[in-house]
Amino acid sequence: MNKTFKFTLVAGASIAASVLSTFASADLYKAKCVACHQAGGAGLPNVFPPLAESEWVNGPAENLIKIQLRGLMGPITVKGKSYNSVMPPNAAMTDKEIASVLTYVRSNFGNKADPITPEMVKKHRGEVGKPMLTVKDLIDPEKAAAEAKKAAAKKGAAKKEAPKKEETKEKE
């Protein structure tokens, strides 16, 4: 096969795959979350908390994975407002689906947090079947942010503004 042609095929396929996976994660959001968390992750006042700019969504990945695997109940404060309801678990979704929908939520609706991988979800599969979570089972996102800041300051003193490695996707 001609090299340029082969390259075009590979590049085309990987672009298509990434577009498809964006569609898939948006569809998962529509199928599994939108009924409660609403379009744009806005939530419903006093009933369903927002995902848009939520400190929980942008906080530790572990919290979000566990919420999907065990569900969440009882009082929780999101963006300064309190909620007290029940979110059923979504443990029937595969690791890949959970990773995909959580990554979608973390990179849309004004959120900016690292992706969640299927491997990360897999690590917490043992949570399935345990009692529903309450907020005391979760890592406090504000504390986690403060600790991350402290750690970054320590590191930053040594090497300031290390250039961020761009993720390069090279197939083959």
Contact footprint for ligand HEC (CB under 6 A): 32-33, 35-37, 48-51, 54, 56-57, 64, 67, 72-74, 76, 78, 83-88, 90, 101-102, 105
Give 22-89 as a DSSP string.
HHHHHHHHHHHTHHHH-GGG--BTTTB---TT-TTTTS-HHHHHHHHHH-EEEEEEETTEEEEEEE--
**77 forms bridges with which residues in the sheet?**
82
Q: Is the CB of 14 or the CB of 38 nearer to ligand HEC?
A: 38
Minimum distance of ligand HEC from residue 146's CB (angstroms): 18
Q: What angle do CA 152, 56, 18 make, to 5 degrees?
A: 85
Q: How far is the CB of 131 from ligand HEC (least distance, A)?
A: 13
Angstrom CA distances, 138 to 51, 66, 70, 71, 75, stand at 16, 8, 12, 12, 12
Q: Which two tokens stand for residue 150?
A: 């402290």
Task: Name the minimum Å distance from CB 22 to ligand HEC.
Answer: 16
* 14 vs 55 by CB, closer to ligand HEC: 55
Residue 51 or 120: which CB sits closer to ligand HEC? Answer: 51
Given the complex with ligand HEC, which of 17 and 52 has the nearer CB atom? 52
CB of residue 3 to ligand HEC, shortest distance in Å: 43
